[in-house]
Structure 1
Amino acid sequence: MKSLETCYEINFSKINFIERKVKITNPKTIISGASKTGKTYLIYDFLSNFKSNEYLYIDFSDLRNDLIEIAKNLEEFIKKNEIIVLILENFEFQFSIPSCENIIISTSSNEIIEGFEHINLNALDFEEYLLHDNKHQNITQSFNSFLKFGNLPEIINLEEHKKIQRLQEIIRLICKDETQYEILKIMIENIDEKKSLFQLFNSLKTKIKLSKDKFYEVCKILENSRIIYFLPKYNQEKSTKKIFCYNYSFLNAITYTKKFKNEFSNMVFLELINKYEDIYYYEQIDFYIKSKNIAVVSIPFFNTFLNNNLIKKIIKNALELNIKEINIITISNNEKIQDPKIKINVLPFYEWALS
């Protein structure tokens, strides 16, 4: 029982935890989410309510842990040591879950089990980012860093010259092999683009040996793991979907090609998915939130005069959907556009995200 005995000696009492908007409140909880979004730290926070001899923490990504030994002896070990909290980190349901008063599971699978609450953990939104950021002196500096290096908790306080390298390492960690890496890479390169999977497959198969089945299988894995999102067009399910990634700064980490508008739109999208489920895109409208009758459009560098024709098209399409309000999200502009039929706000991202 060497693995279990060693895991039982782990003590997390000295780890500092910064609050997230999501918290483990149910004694039986499954946490899923993309890599490095903070699942482990939610568990540390939960364990702070218990003494170290009351919990058993097993990380299945730790190569020292013997899966066969753990599966065989776990139930007996829990009873013998009167453990009341069992943590199964990076668990892929390789064996039946034993009986225990509290069971917290982190996984990349989208597993639903009766009696367990399911938490989908996204990376930091901007408000959470500000709580984690103890390096920058004001909101402008924090926003610039958030925009450039993304939303993953561990990146915030890294030295700047190490951030891109770490983002590249995380992309590699996500992928099980070179094929998966190439598929994820082409997805990241096409964030905020309307591209069909068939288009992307045809493009990628000219560079690597790849079957259609394998490509679609990996895309489904990336979607189920909430690494990649496919945003549908409103009322047109067969239309090409827009592609987004759980961390927009990955684009900057894999290419020198600048696609600032795409990254910015992806950043806006991630703020929205923390609040709404019914998000779509439409002609000239980046994001349509049906339940709120709101349109959100990302125009980083907004100018009323230069964008006048675009605004007219956005208003026309918004009225087709009976939208009552348009929010135009920018880097720093803040104004109101007068229109007799619809409310139009022009807001800087940081003000919009914190409102």
Structure 2
Amino acid sequence: MNTLLDEYYRYDLHNAGFIERKYSIGEKNTLIHGITQSGKTSLIKHYLLGHKKSTYLYLDCRDLRLNIDELNTVLSPFCRDNKISILVLDNYIDTIHLIEIDQIILSTELDLDLPYDKIHLELLDYEEFLAFESKFDNTALNHFFQLGGFPAMHRISSEDRALYLQSSLSRALEPIEFAILSQASKMVTQKVSAFNLYERLKGERKISKDKLYLHLQSLFERGYLKSLSKFNHPSAVKKLYLCDIAIKQALVLQKHFGRLFENLVFSELDKHHIECYYDEGIDFYLPERGQIIIASAFANEHALFKKVESLESFIVSNRVREVVAVTMNLESTLSHPVSRIEMIPFERWALSDE
């Protein structure tokens, strides 16, 4: 095992083309958690390359050559003998003992109960995505639809992107989880219960309800799947979303631009941790802002005005100040007796301060 540690210690790390994220690692013990391909390893390597090579040891815990029992015996003396001050355990496995050292950096999919600085590394929001673009012009939003928020997708050729994401997800997920995610990709933005998913999947494979519910919960906890509650009805069936629209495009042939666009709007709200709910006829209600958001890529003023008329009771009873229709490129302000109505292009909406 010392031979393998020595091999890792002598490795020259490479992190070509790293682009700054909204997150950075400090000098304290740090846990970085997020789904596969969210950029955890790149963020770690960027931090390490700012230090002397002799001061850190980087280990990828997925390495099949690692024997955990032996590692637990030799890791501490190896670090001490080589005067290592920073230990990185990428793709950390909790059976590996954490040693006394100046700084430990861990990466996982799940948050862990450790007294460390925590970085929940989200996929790229639209603002971060623009930093990855080689040029910023009117094609950027279309490119965002094609690539989604996975940072690595920028360096994958267009014909390989679906296969790359399929491969990444199949490595990170158990087969049943992959099947659940594939089925969920067909049902995005719909009201979906665990039983609905079970009914769909039981025709394709033999699976118990308990096993499905367990793995479904894991997908939510790790952030692959997201849900949205109904306003003032926490027990009502939740709406289902993917963490990124690229997953739907990689796993199913079925295309529905309106649903993809709604998922895209939801992802921006989710990544910015904005409290929101759905209601009948309402995509997103933001109570703290007194705002309704309607994801309508190709809205027109007449249809939007009629839509707001159907929501008057909700608007008045909840003192909604503004209805925002997020569109692909249409922009307008409408006059309505009960609330201000704005049509805002996605790009301007996603990059605004509010």
Is TM (by shorter chain) over 0.5?
A: yes
Secondary structure of 2:196's counterpart equals helix
Which range moved further: 5-14 or 278-287? 5-14
Distance in 1, Cα, partners of 2:336 & 2:288: 22
Query: Which amino acid counterpart does residue 18 of structure 2 have in structure 1?
Result: F
Distance in 1, Cα, partners of 2:240 & 2:293: 17
Distance in 2, Cα, partners of 1:26 & 1:302: 48
Give the deviation of 1:298 after TM superposition: 0.3
Give the deviation of 1:47 after TM superposition: 1.2
Instruction: Work out whether residues 336 and 346 of structure 1, in 8 Å CA contact, stay in contact via their aligned partners in 2.
Output: yes
Query: Which amino acid counterpart does residue 111 of structure 2 have in structure 1?
Result: N
Where does residue 47 of structure 2 map in the other structure? 46
Q: Within the alignment, does 1:347 sit opposite 2:347 as a pair?
A: no
Give the deviation of 1:25 after TM superposition: 2.3
Secondary structure of 1:139's counterpart equals coil
Distance in 2, Cα, partners of 1:45 & 1:314: 49
Secondary structure of 2:301's counterpart equals coil
Q: Within the alignment, does 1:184 sit opposite 2:181 as a pair?
A: yes
Query: Which amino acid counterpart does residue 45 of structure 2 have in structure 1?
Result: Y
Give the deviation of 1:13 after TM superposition: 6.1
Instruction: Work out whether residues 223 and 243 of structure 2, in 8 Å CA contact, stay in contact via their aligned partners in 1.
Output: yes
- Alignment match of 2:244 (pick from 243, 247, 262): 247
RMSD: 1.7
Instruction: Work out whether residues 315 and 338 of structure 2, in 8 Å CA contact, stay in contact via their aligned partners in 1.
Output: no
Instruction: Work out whether residues 276 and 289 of structure 1, in 8 Å CA contact, stay in contact via their aligned partners in 2.
Output: no
Instruction: Work out whether residues 3 and 70 of structure 1, in 8 Å CA contact, stay in contact via their aligned partners in 2.
Output: no
Secondary structure of 1:156's counterpart equals helix
Give the deviation of 1:63 after TM superposition: 2.3
Secondary structure of 2:31's counterpart equals strand
- Residues paired across the two proteins, number: 351
Instruction: Work out whether residues 68 and 96 of structure 2, in 8 Å CA contact, stay in contact via their aligned partners in 1.
Output: no
Matches within 5 A, 1:104-123: 104-114=105-115, 116-123=116-123
Distance in 1, Cα, partners of 2:27 & 2:339: 43
Cα deviation digits, residues 108-145 of structure 1 (max 9, x gap): 1221212x1111111101111111111xx443212101
Where does residue 12 of structure 2 map in the other structure? 11
Give the deviation of 1:194 after TM superposition: 0.6
- Alignment match of 1:218 (pick from 206, 215, 219): 215
* Distance of aligned partners of 1:14 and 1:43 in 2 relative to their CA distance in 1, 3 Å threshold: closer
Where does residue 92 of structure 2 map in the other structure? 91
Secondary structure of 1:327's counterpart equals strand
Query: Which amino acid counterpart does residue 118 of structure 2 have in structure 1?
Result: H
Cα deviation digits, residues 266-315 of structure 1 (max 9, x gap): 11111111222422212222122232222221001111123432232244
Instruction: Work out whether residues 15 and 44 of structure 1, in 8 Å CA contact, stay in contact via their aligned partners in 2.
Output: no
Q: Within the alignment, does 1:288 sit opposite 2:289 as a pair?
A: no
Distance in 2, Cα, partners of 1:318 & 1:119: 37
- Alignment match of 1:147 (pick from 126, 145, 148): 145
Query: Which amino acid counterpart does residue 230 of structure 1 have in structure 2?
Result: S
Distance in 1, Cα, partners of 2:315 & 2:86: 51
TM-score (norm: length of structure 2): 0.94
Which range moved further: 237-246 or 19-28? 19-28
- Alignment match of 1:206 (pick from 203, 206, 229): 203
Distance in 2, Cα, partners of 1:247 & 1:339: 34
Instruction: Work out whether residues 283 and 293 of structure 2, in 8 Å CA contact, stay in contact via their aligned partners in 1.
Output: yes
Matches within 5 A, 1:181-330: 181-330=178-327
Where does residue 33 of structure 1 map in the other structure? 34
Which range moved further: 15-24 or 227-236? 15-24
Q: Within the alignment, does 1:76 sit opposite 2:77 as a pair?
A: yes
Which range moved further: 66-75 or 48-57? 66-75
Instruction: Work out whether residues 34 and 122 of structure 2, in 8 Å CA contact, stay in contact via their aligned partners in 1.
Output: yes
- Alignment match of 1:163 (pick from 161, 164, 181): 161
Task: Give the unaligned 5+ runs of structure 1.
Answer: none
Distance in 2, Cα, partners of 1:173 & 1:186: 18
Distance in 1, Cα, partners of 2:10 & 2:316: 62
Distance in 1, Cα, partners of 2:202 & 2:159: 34
